[in-house]
Chains A and B, each alone.
Chain A
Amino acid sequence: MAINAHLINISKKIGVLSDPKNLTAKAKGHCQKIAATIKSFTLLGKFGLTVVTFFVLLAVFAPLITVHPYDLPSGPPLMAPGEGHLLGTDDLGIDIWAQLCRGAKISIIVGLGTALLAGLGGGLIGIISGYVGGILDKIIMRLIDIMLVIPDFPVMILLAAFLGPSLTNIIIVLALFSWVSSARIARSQILMLKEKTYIKSAVLYGAGTWYLMRKHFLPEIFPLIAVQMIRLTGRAIISEAGLSFLGLGDPTSKSWGLTIHYATSFKGIYYTDFWKWWLFYPWLFLMLMVVSLAFISRDLERIADPRLRKK
């Protein structure tokens, strides 16, 4: 839901704001479109949407639904789930439920931050590459080819190790390795659209670059990039968790991956029952989030891609 609301916001900014008279009517149209989209989701997609909504609510209302602080001890260490501490405490006596609510926020920030940066940046590069063409297009295509064959996770480790652990750095590193897909999508769309008769006639009538972009290219490309951005969100959350699990995350962020990192670094974790709450719940949250985002993007891809729709 929240992601959809977010999408409306962006599409409003791009398409609707230019025409304030029709704002409400257009917004209504968007709402109907979104409702129709959700209705055509598969069961898995609906499940995914519910879970993601739940996590977004968790992140937004974290201060209201948690009693204990997420960064300070609030009880005896390694307490099992029970009175006072819904999901128990870790080795420092910090409430796990509070940490996980905080983690939801971090995951969403990292995911959306990376997706916005990579999706919009990549989209822009793709549009320029496809529209301008020529030598610039060739250079960008070679760059994309290079990015595609480089295994991204080792590079991310290298960069994160050198840049130092901070949330902004992680978002930048992740975005550096995820813009390629959006760029390719935007470029291929532009190349395809440029050959369409209605675009050619628009050019003949004297449509300038900006007019073409605003009226013809962006409305066609944006939905595809938006779908890609949801997939990127999931990928970014996985990668952040992976980096944090290796100890390369922001030590102050309390992300889910970091909680898993601390739990697995605890010396006696294999021989005690502590993992049943300290490790299991962040694991569960992370898994649900990632899988749900994947389900949503799978459904959206099916709906947005007419080639797949026919099948």
Chain B
Amino acid sequence: MQHKSRMRIIEYAITIWVIITLNFLLPRLIPGDPFLVLSSQEAEDEEIILSEEQRQYLFEYYGLDQPIHKQYFVYMGELLRGNLGFSLYYKQPVSEIIISRLPWTVFMVISAVVLSTLIGTIIGCISAWHREKWVDKSLFLFMIFFSEIPSFLIGLILLFVFAAGLGLFPLAGAVTHFADFQSGWSRIWDVIHHAILPVTALTISHLGGTYLLGRNSMTTVLEKDYLRTAWAKGLSQSRIIFRHALKNALLPIVTRVFISLGSLVGGAILVENVFSYPGLGTLMRQSVRVHDYPVIQGIFLVVTILVLLANFLADLVYKKLDPRVSS
């Protein structure tokens, strides 16, 4: 067992190394000169044309005139010190920009994970309890349908119906700018009010998976002998479902939460752009628009490593929760 968990750690370390190396190599492998175009096609940005001396200076500044292995060691060293480079567009260290945006993305993803897991599990339990009856069948159809729609499409329709059409929610952003809040509560409400639609979009598209898993896992547990005993003891329906059965059905759901983080992050990047939510996703789009490669790479690195850490955590949690695996 010891050996196996050590293997897992080595595997994760290799994965992270592959990602970092990919991140280092990509811009250097792609033909073209990063400083040839420091502008974009968008009308609002001014065209910057560099002279030959300026280009030489930038090449030396970024160390691009060094041999590639030297560049690699310098890059790794800087990375270990937490230096992700300097943004060409924002004129700020990349790590600073990312740290200022990261909390919004994390907030959104975690809210969506918690909500979709809770709601999905509860509906899954209800469905399993009424298995093969019309409640189960209609819930199943409904959930299957929604689970297949990508989150940004759900986000778009929510935005246009509830924010643009009905005016119930703000159109963009995460807080009301320049607002004078009377109390802490109104500030918190403002944040929640802005987050409702994006979080709902992510939650809905994520609900189906949890629901199916909850339903299947619950159905398996409900057929077990100890639940027949619980029935025979005359326990109430809700007690049987939520105390006796759920505890045993929960394990696959918990692991799924972590495993699905990767796809959820992809969804979050798109949903943020639908709602102009000021997280890493919108930052990524802006950086792509202005060809700010250090920022794109920084976000990629941070997001990927966070997801990997979550997966690693899932491995650990699973071992703690399931006595069969750890023994």
- A residues whose Cβ falls under 8 Å from a Cβ of B: 44, 142, 145-146, 149-155, 157-159, 161-163, 234, 238, 241-242, 245-248, 260, 264, 269-271, 275, 279-280, 283, 286-287, 290-291, 294-295, 298
Q: Collect the chain B residues with CB atoms within 8 Å of residue A241's CB.
A: 150
Given A157-B300, A161-B293, A161-B296, does the pair A286, B262 have CB atoms closer than 8 Å? no
Residue among A154, A162, A241, A246 with max Cβ neighbours from chain B (10 Å) = A154
Contact of A154 among B14, B30, B149, B269 (CB under 8 A): B269
Residues of B within 8 A of A163 (CB): 30
Q: Can you pick out 12 interface pairs between chain A and chain B where the beta carbons lie within 8 Å of each other? A: A44-B141, A146-B15, A146-B18, A149-B307, A150-B15, A150-B307, A152-B266, A158-B296, A161-B291, A162-B293, A241-B150, A245-B152
Query: Per DSSP, are chain B's interface residues mostly helix, strand or loop, or mixed?
Result: helix
A159 and B27 alpha carbons, distance in the complex (Å)? 10
Q: Can you name 13 extra interface pairs (CB under 8 A) apart from A151-B303, A157-B288, A283-B157?
A: A145-B11, A145-B15, A150-B308, A151-B266, A153-B267, A153-B270, A238-B150, A242-B266, A248-B288, A270-B164, A275-B160, A279-B160, A290-B149
Contacts of B215-231 to chain A: CB distance below 8 A: none
Q: Which of A146, A271, A295 has the most CB of B within 10 A?
A: A146
A151-B303, A153-B265, A246-B285 known; A286 vs B11 contact (CB < 8 Å): no
Alpha-carbon distance between A298 and B284 when the two chains are bound, in angstroms: 33
Known A-B contacts A154-B266, A162-B30, A246-B288; A142 and B11 likewise in contact (beta carbons under 8 Å): yes
B273 and A245 contact, CB distance less than 8 A: yes
Q: Report A-chain residues with C-beta under 8 Å of the C-beta of B308.
A: 149-150
Is chain A's binding surface mostly helix, strand, loop or mixed?
helix
List residues of B (242-274) whose CB comes within 8 Å of A's CBs.
Answer: 261-263, 265-267, 269-270, 273-274
Decide yes or no whether B80 CB sits under 8 A from chain A.
no
Could you tell me if A149 and B262 are in contact, using CB atoms closer than 8 angstroms?
yes
Interface Cβ pair total, 8 Å cutoff: 121
| Cβ-neighbour of A44 out of B144, B273, B296 (below 8 A) | B144
Residue total for B at the interface (Cβ-Cβ under 8 A) = 49
Expressed in whole angstroms, the Cα–Cα distance for A234 and B11 within the complex equals 31
B56-88 at interface with A (beta carbon < 8 Å) = none
User: Do A247 and B285 touch (CB < 8 A)?
Assistant: yes
Residues of B within 8 Å of A264, CB to CB, are 156, 274
Q: Please name all residues of chain B whose beta carbon is closer than 8 Å to the beta carbon of A234 when the two chains form the complex.
A: 148
Neighbouring A residues of B270 by C-beta, 8 Å: 153, 242, 245-246
B46 CB to nearest A CB, Å: 20
Which B34-68 residues sit within 8 Å CB-CB of chain A? none
Q: Which residues of A contact B265 (CB under 8 A)?
A: 151, 153-154
What A residues does B149 contact at CB under 8 A?
Answer: 287, 290-291
Which residues of B are found within 8 Å of A157, using beta-carbon distances? 269, 284, 288, 296, 300
**Interface flag for B232 (CB, 8 Å):** no
State whether the Cβ of B26 lies closer than 8 Å to any Cβ in chain A.
Answer: yes
Contact partner of A247 (CB less than 8 A), chosen from B15, B160, B289, B311, is B289
Q: Which residues of A contact B157 (CB under 8 A)?
A: 283
Q: State whether the Cβ of B297 lies closer than 8 Å to any Cβ in chain A.
A: yes
Among all A-B residue pairs, the 4 with the closest Cβ atoms: A153-B266, A151-B262, A294-B148, A270-B164
Please, which residue of chain A has its CB at the minimum distance from the CB of B27? A162
Residues in B whose Cβ lies below 8 Å from that of A152: 262-263, 266
